[in-house]
A and B are shown apart, each in its own frame.
Chain A
Amino acid sequence: MGSDESVPWRRLHPASLLVNLIPTAWRTLQRVWPLLLAMVFSKSITGLVDLILVASFFALAAVRTVLHFATLRYRFAHGRLEIQQGLISRVEQALDPARIQNVSLEQNVFHRMAGLVELRIEMAGAGSAPVDGMLSALSIPEAEALRKALGRTGAAVDAQAADVDVIDAVGLLEVVGYGVSAGRVGAAVVAIGLFLDVANQVSPGALPVQNLGRHSWAGLMLVALAGGYTLSAGGAILRFYRFRWWQSGGDFHFESGLLTRRRMDIPIRKLQLVQITEPIVRRAMGFATMLFETAAAAVPEAGGSAEALVPMVAREDVVSRVRAAFPRLDTPIDGDLLPCAPRAVGRAVLRGVLGWLGPAAGAAFWFGTPWAWLLLGLGGGMGMLDARRQGWRVTERFIVVRRGFLSRDTWVLPREKVQSVHWVQGPIARAAGLARLVVWFPGGRLPLPEIGEVEARALFASLRPTG
């Protein structure tokens, strides 16, 4: 005990002052962007005031960077990683290695230039902080020593995937395909709308928005589509360039990124859930995306924000990839699943119609009643198709659930990870003789499709502990 108390506290690498300055300044700017926007378009503020304001933001970022460097201390003592930081609000963390869910190593451009690495640690639980422990600038030998102290048996900090060990690698074309099929066209449309509005405010008449003809609007929409797809593809390249997934010992490693290289190390025994997500365009391309969840994900529903993500997996390889995570998989995960109850389809149609009531009311007001009926029919149809694509299976070792028509999701959860089982039934479901099970697992909840009440009772009983 006494010897642990004498373990010296360590500080971040001094180069962190430079490495962290730009990212901290960027984060500061992100927080005050409405003020900056107002500043840019305001005609009442002089250039000198602009300059002072921008300089003060950078000064604030510099102070935060210096404070971060000056106050953060860490050490490995008492069998755990201890981190202290903060000046006014002091935070002390003690991270137990046995509870670590994953460790990620990040290197942005500045880290790479300085030969440093950022180490992030995520623990189990639902803390509000995105990361439980973050050491933003360590030398690679320092990070390696810490990784070993934390008992990590997998690849070294600066290890690269050997070709023989690679489970999956994603090429540039596939990454672009992932971006294109991610569907962020809406964001581009919103951005163009915002641009037109701002342009009209700044310089009325420069862009005659009110007098645009049909062809101009069609052109704008095409620009929005092209811009949306370009943004999506660009974002995907930034995040998933040279994606590698490999295994060493009992750990999975996921590495990717163009400007910022990120490597995520996840002990396979800590994997809680695998999600296979297939938006309709990606499905048509013959690919799926795989997401790996540990108990670190503080999400209300399964599939919120996964720790690791394989952007493009060929459809025929999905089962073997799931088996890499769960070697004891004892069930098919695609075609051969049980459907939801037939009466649940009717409820799904009703839910679909109700979900589209708002847009239908708008359509009736602006374009006429036939458009409203069309939208309601569309909502009902989508609800029906979604319900018909639902599937589930509970075996001795696994629970598999599938949902979605336009974007299909499949979840694979080992039963040994189940924390509690909830049998739920609302008044309408009760009248229809239906019920649903919701399985809680570390990091999320997995609702099964609605099934008959008697069947749900039997399934609930089978999922309860028998001793």
Chain B
Amino acid sequence: MHSLDPRVVTLWRFEALTAVVTSWLPIYAGLGWVLGTQVGFVAAVAGIASLALFLVLRALIWPALAFRNFRYEVRAHELIVEQGVLFRQTISVPRDRIQHVDTRQAFWERWLDVSRLLVYTGAGLSADASLPGLDAEEAVRLRDQLARAGRDVDDGV
């Protein structure tokens, strides 16, 4: 089984730290308001600081754990992906079921020159399997390799 590119740890840390600053702002404000009115200013600052510290630590530690638990392999008849720290998942996507394969690069991914590979089957709800943080060239190679497999077979749809 293959690991992701180690740069993905940096990518996930950037993404998580960005979320600590932006997505959690309303929570900080709500917590600060509740603690500030009920207990006092010092308690509000301490509460927000504790939450932010916890989130920062999580943003630094969790990506390393997720990287360690993420494995994938393209086999003769399937793509197999193992992932998850607390909630573990093993996914088997038969190669002859693959409808299309996408590669995507968001802002941080372009900066680190890594890509996300998304594998879709006829299930069509969302990507059946997602390989984040692949080296950009490796992602393109994998995309072409997987996209070739599903042609001219009964896809069950």
A: residues with CB less than 8 A from B are: 99, 124-126, 270, 272, 295, 298, 300, 416-427, 430, 440-445, 460, 463-467
Note all chain A residues with C-beta closer than 8 A to B78. Answer: 464-465
Closest to A300 in B: B125
- How distant is A456 from chain B, measured CB to nearest CB, in Å? 10
Given that A420-B91, A424-B88 are contacting pairs, would A298 and B125 also be in contact in the complex, using a CB cutoff of 8 Å?
yes
Beyond the given pairs A419-B97, A422-B91, A440-B128, 18 more chain A to chain B contacts, judged by CB atoms under 8 angstroms and listed by A's residue number, are A99-B157, A125-B124, A126-B124, A126-B126, A416-B154, A418-B97, A418-B156, A420-B91, A420-B92, A420-B129, A421-B92, A424-B89, A442-B157, A444-B123, A460-B90, A465-B94, A465-B95, A466-B77
Q: Is the CB of B87 within 8 A of A425?
A: yes
Let me know if B109 is at the binding interface, CB within 8 A. no
Note all chain A residues with C-beta closer than 8 A to B1. Answer: none
CA distance A416 to B153 in the complex (A): 12
- How distant is B105 from chain A, measured CB to nearest CB, in Å? 23
Which of B96, B129, B156 contacts A465 (CB under 8 A)? B96
Note all chain B residues with C-beta closer than 8 A to A425. Answer: 87-89
Q: Is the CB of A424 within 8 A of B87?
A: yes
Note all chain B residues with C-beta closer than 8 A to A442. Answer: 122-124, 156-157
Given that A419-B97, A422-B89, A424-B88 are contacting pairs, would A298 and B124 also be in contact in the complex, using a CB cutoff of 8 Å?
yes
CA distance A460 to B95 in the complex (A): 16
- How distant is A113 from chain B, measured CB to nearest CB, in Å? 38
- How distant is A458 from chain B, measured CB to nearest CB, in Å? 13
Q: Is the CB of A441 within 8 A of B123?
A: yes
Given that A420-B93, A463-B92, A467-B77 are contacting pairs, would A445 and B123 also be in contact in the complex, using a CB cutoff of 8 Å?
yes
Chain B interfacial residues counted at CB < 8 A: 27
Which residues, 60 to 81 on B, are CB-close (under 8 Å) to A? 76-78, 80
Note all chain A residues with C-beta closer than 8 A to B86. Answer: 426-427
Let me know if B121 is at the binding interface, CB within 8 A. yes
* Across the A-B interface, the 4 shortest Cβ-Cβ residue pairs: A419-B121, A440-B123, A423-B90, A419-B123
Note all chain B residues with C-beta closer than 8 A to A467. Answer: 76-77
Given that A417-B156, A419-B156 are contacting pairs, would A295 and B124 also be in contact in the complex, using a CB cutoff of 8 Å?
yes
Note all chain A residues with C-beta closer than 8 A to B89. Answer: 422-425
Closest to A415 in B: B156
Note all chain B residues with C-beta closer than 8 A to A125. Answer: 124
CA distance A417 to B122 in the complex (A): 9
Can you list 8 residue pairs at the A/B interface with Cβ under 8 Å?
A: A416-B156, A418-B156, A419-B156, A422-B91, A442-B156, A445-B125, A464-B78, A465-B92
